[in-house]
Amino acid sequence: MQRKEWKFDYPAPQLGDAAHAKVSFHAEQIDFWMKKREDLMATIREEGIEINEKIALGYVNPKARDWDRGGEIMIRNDLRKGLMETFEKLSYHTGKRDTYDGWEQVLRANPNATLALDIDDWLFFFGRDTDIDDERL
């Protein structure tokens, strides 16, 4: 039998504890990224907005003066990218938290069950999170 086919028996309460640990981990990640989002939003409000005026408006030529398109309001690109990243991370960790929460509920509702886990199942419940955000390390 190849090791990919190996099965390991685990009681449901032990898997429920593992699922709870994952719920806690992803909840902490959500808290981190919510704080980061709030900080970025404050920075954007304070200093992230730029106005780009057309250089042509400075010339005397009346044809060059296009007042309707004279200025462009922009958010600094680094702040925009950071904000997009926070929303992506919040979406990811919220989905993971909800998935593990569902598993925890099912496993705790069946305390007498014993389940046969293969390597992928084991990694799902007990494996290191390879998705840990670099900034959090």
Residue 52 pLDDT > 60, yes or no?
yes
In a domain, 1, yes or no: no
Per-residue model confidence (pLDDT) at position 129:
78
Q: 118 lies in which domain range?
A: 11-47+76-128
Instruction: Give the number of domains in the chain.
Output: 1
In a domain, 135, yes or no: no
In a domain, 30, yes or no: yes
Contact predicate 75/48, CB 8 Å: yes
Report how far Cα 47 is from the mean position of its chain's Cα atoms: 25
In a domain, 122, yes or no: yes
In a domain, 119, yes or no: yes
Residue linked to tokens 């992928």: 120
Tens-place pLDDT, residues 13-36 = 999 999 999 999 999 999 999 999
In a domain, 32, yes or no: yes
Q: Is the pTM of this model over 0.75?
A: yes
Tens-place pLDDT, residues 104-133 = 999 999 999 999 999 999 999 999 876 555
Residue 69 pLDDT > 70, yes or no?
no
Per-residue model confidence (pLDDT) at position 37:
95
Any idea which of 5-19, 64-78, 84-98 has the lowest mean pLDDT? Answer: 64-78
Per-residue model confidence (pLDDT) at position 73:
74
* Banded pLDDT at 137 (limits 50, 70, 90): very low
In a domain, 71, yes or no: no
In a domain, 133, yes or no: no
Q: What is the 3-state secondary structure (H, E, C) of the chain?
A: CCHHHCCEEEEHHHHHHHHHHHHHHHHHHHHHHHHHHHHHHHHHHHHHEEEEECHHHHCCCHHHCCHHHCEEEEECHHHHHHHHHHHHHHHHHHHHHHHHHHHHHHHHCCCCCEEEECHHHHHHHHCCCCCCCHHHC
* Banded pLDDT at 44 (limits 50, 70, 90): confident
Residue 49 pLDDT > 80, yes or no?
no
